[in-house]
Amino acid sequence: MFGRKKKKEVQPIVHRVLGEITVNPQLHTANSYEIFLFGKEYPVFLYINSPTFIETHEFSAAQEEAISFFDRNRSQINNRIEKQLRQFFKIYDDSVYNNKMSLENISISANGEIGAFFSSEFSDEELKAIDPSVNFTDSFGVVIYPSERILYNEQECYMFDN
């Protein structure tokens, strides 16, 4: 009658491609993936925005397609990210990227887009090639699937999943 309540044992959720899925508090892979950008290794988790997955243990068809693309094309994903960053910043020295930014995570949106999200500490001099009308912030993203585009600031990154 008195005493501790037994904790309900949580069964791991296993996805056929991603393996074990964790909900803590967001849905993500239990194991990190090694992403290589500009010669540097980043261990990152894959986050998936799926409001119904916990109940159904299923992702949408668009998300499953994105997961399959991610699984089959990891090196292509690395190249797509690098290409977009070089085109956007007009910086071709890999050491600048290695010293000034960090890959925080990779996410799959509710509608099946894949995005890579970064924090950065670029100097004004390093940002001089950016169009002055762009509201760029230290937190930004790169959408890599199915289309490609830069998410210039925190607000655009937030809107990626909402």
User: What's the whole-model pTM score?
Assistant: 0.89
What is the pLDDT of the chain when averaged over all its residues? 91
Residue 105: closest CA among 135, 62, 140:
140
- Sorted by where each begins, the domain ranges of the chain are 16-160
pLDDT reading at 53 higher than 70? yes
What are the distances in angstroms from CA 132 to CA 41, 57, 116, 128? 31, 45, 23, 8
What are the distances in angstroms from CA 48 to CA 29, 51, 66? 8, 9, 10
What SS3 class is residue 100?
helix
Residue 152: closest CA among 123, 125, 120:
120
Report pLDDT for 57. 86
User: What is the percent of the chain where pLDDT is above 90?
Assistant: 80
Strand ranges for 9-137 from DSSP E: 13-15, 19-23, 27-29, 33-37, 40-44, 46-48, 101-108, 114-120
Q: pLDDT tens-digit profile of 16-28?
A: 999 999 987 789 9
Q: pLDDT tens-digit profile of 113-136?
A: 999 999 999 999 999 999 999 999
pLDDT interval class at 149 (50, 70, 90): very high
Report pLDDT for 5. 58
Report pLDDT for 95. 96
